[in-house]
């Protein structure tokens, strides 16, 4: 599974001005709704419900909020670099400034898990977070995220 199949260049947003986890999820939902055609409230409720099960803040300033939606036609990815780090209740108690959101069809099953695993591997690539934080443009960020060679799975 290639990240370029999940993430479109226009789904990379830099310097997103948010002040809380809930605000970030609202902004993510707005972008996702525009790009998927799904109702913004449905996207927001899905992401928030998943977040209530446990934080998707995975450490090192990264969060990977995700959820499944009835009626979605494929798996969609969205990458956000925040203007300022925010509290996200991450596993390492560090604030988050890099968010890769993932939305999958309700019936995605193993493909949803494979996509999550792929995203996590790419974001854990040595030096990747520094490169993402220092990239000048959304195009640069897109190229960084999608250049990583495919890993089985």
- What is the per-residue pLDDT for 149? 55
Domains and CATH numbers, the chain: 3-147 (3.40.930.10)
Catalytic residue among 19, 23, 66, 112: 66
CB atoms within 10 A of CB 13: 17
Which pLDDT band holds residue 1 (cuts at 50, 70, 90)?
confident
Query: CA separation (Å) from 103 to 24, 55, 95, 112, 127?
Result: 15, 16, 23, 8, 26
User: What pLDDT digit, counting tens, does each position of 45-61 carry?
Assistant: 999 999 999 999 999 99
Those residues whose C-beta lies under 8 Å from the C-beta of residue 30, and which sit 6 or more positions away, are 40
Q: Which helix (H) or strand (E) holds 80?
A: strand 76-86
For residue 36, pLDDT beyond 70:
yes
Is the distance from CB of 12 to CB of 138 less than 8 angstroms?
yes
Is 66 among the catalytic positions?
A: yes
Q: Which residue has the tokens 């479109």?
A: 8
- pTM, whole model, 2 decimals? 0.94
**pLDDT exceeds cutoff 50 at 152:** no
């Amino acid at each position: 599974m290639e990240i370029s199949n999940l993430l479109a260049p226009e789904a990379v947003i830099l310097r997103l001005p948010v002040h809380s986890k809930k605000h970030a999820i609202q902004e993510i939902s707005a972008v996702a709704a525009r790009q998927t055609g799904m109702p913004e409230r449905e996207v927001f409720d899905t992401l928030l419900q998943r977040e209530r099960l446990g934080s998707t803040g995975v450490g090192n300033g990264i969060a990977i909020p995700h959820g499944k939606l009835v009626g979605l036609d494929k798996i969609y990815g969205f990458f956000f670099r925040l203007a300022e780090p925010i509290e996200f209740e991450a596993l390492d108690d560090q604030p988050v400034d890099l968010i890769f959101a993932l939305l999958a069809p309700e019936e995605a099953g193993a493909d949803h898990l494979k996509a999550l695993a792929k995203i996590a591997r790419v974001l854990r690539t040595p030096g990747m977070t520094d490169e993402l934080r220092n990239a000048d443009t959304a195009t640069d960020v897109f190229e960084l995220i999608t250049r990583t060679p495919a890993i089985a799975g």
